[in-house]
Amino acid sequence: MASAAVLYVDVRVFDGTGRDPFPAEVLVQGNRITAVAARVPADLRADALVIDGHGGTLIPGLVDAHAHLGFGSTVEHRSARRDEPEEEKALLVAHAGRVLLDHGITSAYSGGNRLPRTETAARKAFAEGWMPGPRLKAASWQGSAGMVEPGVYDFPGIDGRASDPESVSRFVGDMAALGVDIVKLSLSGESAVVAGTSRIVQFTDEEVAAASATAHTNGVWLTAHAHAAESVKMAVRHGIRAVYHCTFADEEALDLLQAARHRVFVAPTPGIIHANLCEAAGEPEPGMEVEATAKAVREVVPELVRRGIRVVPGGDYGFAWNPVGRNARDLELFVDWFGFSPAEALRSATQYGGQIMGMGEELGLVRVGWLADLVLVDGDPLDDIRILQDRARLAVIMKDGRLHGLRRGV
**pLDDT over threshold 80, residue 255:** yes
Of the given ranges (64-78, 248-262, 396-410), which has the lowest mean pLDDT?
A: 396-410
Nearest Cα to Cα of residue 340 among 379, 368, 312, 377:
312
Q: Give residue 251's pLDDT.
A: 98
Residue ranges covered by each domain of the chain: 5-60+365-406, 62-356
pLDDT confidence tier of residue 409, bands split at 50, 70 and 90 = low
Report the range of poorest mean pLDDT among 2-16, 226-240, 281-295. 281-295
Q: Which of 213, 210, 216, 255 is nearest to 236 (CA)?
A: 255
Give the mean pLDDT of 328-341.
Answer: 98
CB 47 within 8 A of CB 35: no
Confidence band, pLDDT 50/70/90 cuts, at residue 143: confident
Integer Cα distance of 224 and 205 in angstroms: 13
Pick the residue with more confidence: 194 or 396? 396
Neighbours of 138 (CB within 10 A): 26
Counting residues of the chain whose pLDDT is more than 70, the rounded percentage is 94
pLDDT of amino acid 86 = 87
Q: 3-state DSSP call for residue 380?
A: coil
How confident is the model at residue 337, as a pLDDT? Answer: 98
User: Has residue 162 got a pLDDT over 70?
Assistant: yes
Do 223 and 252 contact (CB within 8 A), yes or no? no
Q: Which of 136-145, 160-169, 170-179 has the weakest average pLDDT?
A: 136-145
For the domain made up of 62-356, give the CATH fold.
TIM Barrel (3.20.20)
Q: Which whole number is the average pLDDT over 346-369?
A: 98
Architecture of domain 5-60+365-406: Roll (2.30)
No. of H helices and E strands in the chain? 12, 16
Start-to-end Cα distance in the chain: 15
Decide if pLDDT at 100 tops 60: yes
Query: Does the structure show a pLDDT above 70 at 146?
Result: no
Average pLDDT over residues 37-57: 95
Confidence check: pLDDT of 279 > 90 = no
Split at pLDDT 50, 70, 90, the class of 156 is confident
Length of the chain as a residue count: 410
Q: How confident is the model at residue 161 (pLDDT cuts 50, 70, 90)?
A: confident
pLDDT of residue 119: 96
Which distant-in-sequence residues (6+ apart) come within 8 Å of 79 by Cβ? 71, 72, 73, 92, 320
| Whole-number average pLDDT of the chain | 93
Q: Give Cα 55 to chain centroid, integer Å.
A: 29
Is the pLDDT assigned to residue 286 strictly greater than 50? no
Say how far apart CA 384 and CA 342 lie, in whole Å. Answer: 8
Q: What percent of the chain has pLDDT over 90?
A: 83
Q: How many C-beta atoms surround the C-beta of residue 383 within 10 A? A: 9
- What is the predicted pLDDT for the residue at 193? 82
What average pLDDT score do residues 275-304 get? 83
Residues 12-35: tens digit of each pLDDT: 999 999 999 999 999 999 999 999
Please, which pLDDT band fits residue 259 given cuts at 50, 70 and 90? very high
The residues, any chain, with a CB within 8 Å of residue 125's CB and separated by 6 or more, are: 94, 131, 133
More confident residue, 11 or 406: 11
The whole-angstrom separation of Cα 120 and Cα 124 is: 6
User: DSSP string of 57-106?
Assistant: EEEEPEEEEEE-TTS--BSS---------HHHHHHHHHHHHHHHHHTTEE
Split at pLDDT 50, 70, 90, the class of 79 is confident
DSSP track, 303-327 = HHHHTT-EE-----BTBTTB-BT-T
Higher pLDDT, 308 or 80: 308
pLDDT tens track for 58-67? 999 999 999 9
Choose between 313 and 194: higher pLDDT.
313
